[in-house]
Amino acid sequence: MTTQLEFAKQGIITEEMLTVAENEGLHKEFIRKSVAKGEIVIPCNSNRKHQKITGIGTGLRTKVNASIGTSSDICDLSLEVEKAKAADEEGADTLMELSADGDLDKIRKAVLANSDLPVGNVPLYQAFKETIRKYRNPAKLDPEYLFDLIEKQLDDGLSFMAIHCGINQYTIERLRKQGYRYGGLVSKGGTYMVAWMDINKKENPLYEQFDRVCALMKKYDAVLSLGNGIRAGAIHDSHDRAQMAEMIINCELAEIGRKQGCQMMVEGPGHVPLDEIEGNIMLEKRMSGNAPYYVLGPIPCDTGAGYDHITAAIGAASSARFGADLICYITPAEHLALPDVNDVREGIRATKLAVRIGDISKYPERRENEKLAAMARRDMRWDDLKKYLLFPEQAEKIRESRSPAEKKTCTMCGDFCAMKKGMEIFKNDITDKK
């Protein structure tokens, strides 16, 4: 299978590259060159014929990922399908199916059948879950079964995978020598792989056989997202030696994977204080050769449970501003419960707003929409204003629920409206074009 990366290196502009160029309003040759350098990836499994095409990387709009999936406490296939559809309706760019209980093959196929988004997963979830079901002991995971499972999932149509290749014995040694952590380990797949390595006294097969991982991903032209299994789960653990060891390894692997023709992303934290986000992204971009960076949040404080979609949105805005390329949403249920459909919707909306804020700072030329919205608000052209809003239905719902006596104003100010008075004073002086 010739990958998007390999086509781009040959000077060939694929239909997928053309679609990305059209979606982003950019020149097709810019897209091709960026894909060739590994600075843009296009997750589009060659086995899946009907999926939205999206580009992730430098120079593009920051993308939003929504994650869904079952747990041992809540396992409802129809609920996961509903969440997948909600993610599509709310405008997520990618979807991760992260189920950890139930008929995992059936759930994955149902989600793929009910979503047009590029779908990814973490193959270690099913690998360890099925091993526990069979042996009641995750340490009995057979590496050959793991590689077979990765191919099986790819054959179903997954367009990207978060695979924990950067965890190795050196990384684990850093955890021990630094006295573990304040926030512990928070990656399910990463932690179970650490446990497997510790009990079996063996190296991580995903690291040891990295070329084999790349070959499987290349076969389906899926994007290999180098999982952040040692990410910090508390801001006091941010950028500790264990996290940095894994980041260095993942950045090296990104370079190796690109040389083999595999599309690569690097995953990032995690919990990071606001003042460290810029440095984190700079390090990833510098060490990986500007590989697309998939950031999980990040969450810049540890005390926002119940409103962590807002906590994470603050971190996501900074991440987008400083160069992150794909942001995994956080829902209000984070740290507390499995998200429901409403949590999915709220998480996507908060993250979309965050990346809009980051993008208009990162790309000043993209502020035109904000200017048009401001002018419509100034002129009290409410119908026009809705065209420029991220959430026009919600805005209309609130406005109609408290309808003003004078339709041009709103009930915040009523007849004491600053906009109305300002237009009376300066209407003959306005020079901008509407």
User: What pLDDT sits at residue 433?
Assistant: 55
User: What pLDDT sits at residue 407?
Assistant: 83
Residues 6+ apart with CB under 8 A from 433: none
**Residue 226 in contact with residue 241, Cβ under 8 Å?**
no
HEC states along the chain? CCCHHHHHHCCCCCHHHHHHHHHHCCCHHHHHHHHHHCCEECCCCCCCCCCCCCCEECCCCCEEEEEECCCCCCCCHHHHHHHHHHHHHCCCCEEEECCCCCCHHHHHHHHHHCCCCCEEECHHHHHHHHHHHHHCCHHHCCHHHHHHHHHHHHHHCCCEEEECCCCCHHHHHHHHHCCCCCCCCCCHHHHHHHHHHHHHCCCCHHHHCHHHHHHHHHHCCCEEEECCCCCCCCHHHCCCHHHHHHHHHHHHHHHHHHHCCCCEEEEECCECCHHHHHHHHHHHHHHHCCCCEEEECCECCCCCCCCHHHHHHHHHHHHHHHCCCEEECCCCCCCCCCCCHHHHHHHHHHHHHHHHHHHHHHCHHHHHHHHHHHHHHHCCCHHHHHHHCCCHHHHHHHHHHCCCCCCCCCCCCHHHCHHHHHHHHHCCCCCCCC
**Residue 349 in contact with residue 316, Cβ under 8 Å?**
no
Phi, then psi, of 97 in degrees rounded to 5: -100, 105
100-109, 156-165, 372-381: segment of lowest average pLDDT: 372-381
Q: Give the number of other CB atoms < 10 A from CB of residue 101.
A: 16
- Tell me: the pLDDT tens digits for 12-32? 999 999 999 999 999 999 999
Length of the chain: 434
Q: Which residue has the higher pLDDT, 104 or 410?
A: 104
Q: What b/e sequence results for 345-369 when a residue is b if at least 16 CB atoms lie within 10 Å of its CB, and e otherwise?
A: bbbbbbbbbbbbbbbbebeeeeeee
Q: Which of 59, 41, 52, 49 is nearest to 93 (CA)?
A: 52
Rounded (10°) CA dihedral 331, 120, 144, 71: 30
| pLDDT classification of 306: cutoffs 50, 70, 90 | very high
Bridging pattern class, strands 40-41 and 56-57:
antiparallel
| pLDDT classification of 431: cutoffs 50, 70, 90 | confident
What residues does 295 pair with on adjacent strands?
268, 327
pLDDT > 90: what percent of the chain? 93
Helices 341-362, 308-322: inter-axial angle, 10-degree rounding: 30
Q: How far is CA 409 from CA 77, 271, 405, in A?
A: 46, 42, 8
**Residue 229 in contact with residue 269, Cβ under 8 Å?**
no
| pLDDT classification of 297: cutoffs 50, 70, 90 | confident
Q: Give the number of other CB atoms < 10 A from CB of residue 412.
A: 10
Q: Give the number of other CB atoms < 10 A from CB of residue 401.
A: 8
**Residue 166 in contact with residue 204, Cβ under 8 Å?**
no
Q: Which of 266, 257, 261 is nearest to 285 (CA)?
A: 266
Domains of the chain (ranges; CATH) run 60-362 (3.20.20.540), 381-426 (no CATH)
Residue 74 CB-density burial (10 A; 0-12 exposed, 13-18 middle, 19+ buried): middle
96-110, 310-324, 352-366, 396-410: segment of lowest average pLDDT: 396-410
User: What pLDDT sits at residue 406?
Assistant: 85
- Tell me: the pLDDT tens digits for 231-280? 999 999 999 999 999 999 999 999 999 999 999 999 999 999 999 999 99
For the cut 80, the answer to whether the pLDDT of residue 434 exceeds it is no
Mean pLDDT rounded to a whole number for the chain: 96
